[in-house]
Amino acid sequence: MSAPISRRAFLKGGLAAAATAAVAAPAVRVEAAGTGRHLATLIDISKCIGCGACVAACREANAAKFPTPEKPFPRMYPERVQVSDWSERQEVDDRLTPYNWLFIQEVSVEHQDETFELTIPRRCMHCVNPPCVKLCPWGAARQYANGISRIDTDMCLGGSKCQNVCPWDIPQRQTGDGLYRKLLPSLAGNGIMNKCDRCYDAVAKGGAPACIEACPEAVQTIGPREAMIARAQALARATGGYLYGIEENGGTNTIYHSMVPFEAINRAIQAGPGQPHLGPAADRMAAANNIGWAMLVAPLAGAAAAAGRIVKAGRRAAAPADAGKPGSN
């Protein structure tokens, strides 16, 4: 068996030149939210060197959004309800956590008598029809017109329905934070769920997600989904490569390109908690029982939304009138 193929060795080959020619058009600048067109990212695994710049940039850009749990945690009933506490392990960066929304998944893959050492940026897939949004019983998740899905941490009770219905188990829970502490902390909820929101606030202003801005190798490209699909397909044709994310779970707004079949990658991945697979993912929103479930939980979502608005209004009413003004203390 030959020696492992490094990313730099691959780029010296003719396939890299063909790939460059196939996608020579400049990256599309991010459109502001509200255009009604989904934005997608194309992630070219063959270009990733695993430097971690994207991970560091994600942490820095989103630090203000991370959980701030209060301790001690309320005792939960029934006792089988598990506490999930990452507040003392915030430095962990080799998996998804409430404090690490993007990580580099390292995998060694055997394919056609060659060994490929791959580094793969992993985060939320931002599904076209996201189960985490549609099936949240509390209405705590939303999808913007540009396709970004986000968990509203002011509304989330940490029940983990979003993680259970996600084909990749992406959302991660932190106990001790969020609305549940102000309601029935021992009986309802268990913190807040956390995941990549694709820097929705920066994108709303026409900016790009921090991970894309920070990457020194231009691994990710972002633009309208139709354009990114066309770009990905052109790249795959030019290189003989493979794509993932166009059809999975009914379609996602994250598309991966690889020179190695994703079936082989998935067999080699050490998938587990916080480390998602890259295997088949059926459309969970297409199932009739999910449609029925969505209809069932809609009243609960409405009630939770109303409760959340009441709590938010109470916070605003309790805040000092001059809070946040220059010179106020």
pLDDT at 294 (0 to 100): 52
The pair of three-digit structure tokens given for residue 41, joined into one six-digit string: 């990212």
Give me the pLDDT at residue 33, please. Answer: 40
Average pLDDT, the chain: 83
Give the C-alpha separation, 229 to 245, whole Å: 10
- Residue-wise DSSP of 35-60: SS--EEEEEEGGG-----HHHHHHHH
What pLDDT does 298 receive?
47
Which residue blocks in the chain are alpha helix, DSSP H? 7-11, 14-22, 53-62, 131-134, 161-165, 200-204, 210-214, 225-239, 262-268, 288-318
Q: pLDDT, tens digit, for every residue of 49-104?
A: 999 999 999 999 999 999 999 999 988 777 777 899 999 999 999 999 999 999 99
What DSSP letter does each residue of 133-150 carry, written as one string? Answer: HHT-TT--EEE-TTS-EE
Q: How confident is the model at residue 182 (pLDDT cuts 50, 70, 90)?
A: confident
Name the band, by pLDDT with cuts 50, 70 and 90, for residue 267. Answer: very high
pTM (two decimals): 0.81
Which domains are delineated in the chain?
7-300 (3.30.70.20)
pLDDT at 200 over 50: yes
Q: Could you count the other beta carbons within 10 Å of the beta carbon of residue 47? A: 18
DSSP label at residue 258: E
Confidence of residue 164 (pLDDT cuts 50, 70, 90): very high
Per-residue pLDDT at 1 = 42
For 31, which DSSP code? P
Residue 81 is predicted with a pLDDT of 77
Task: Give the end-to-end CA distance of the chain in Å, rounded to a whole number.
Answer: 68
> Rounded to an integer, what distance in angstroms lies between the CA atom of residue 54 and that of residue 59?
9
Does position 191 have pLDDT exceeding 60, yes or no? Answer: yes
Q: What 8-state DSSP symbol labels residue 15?
A: H
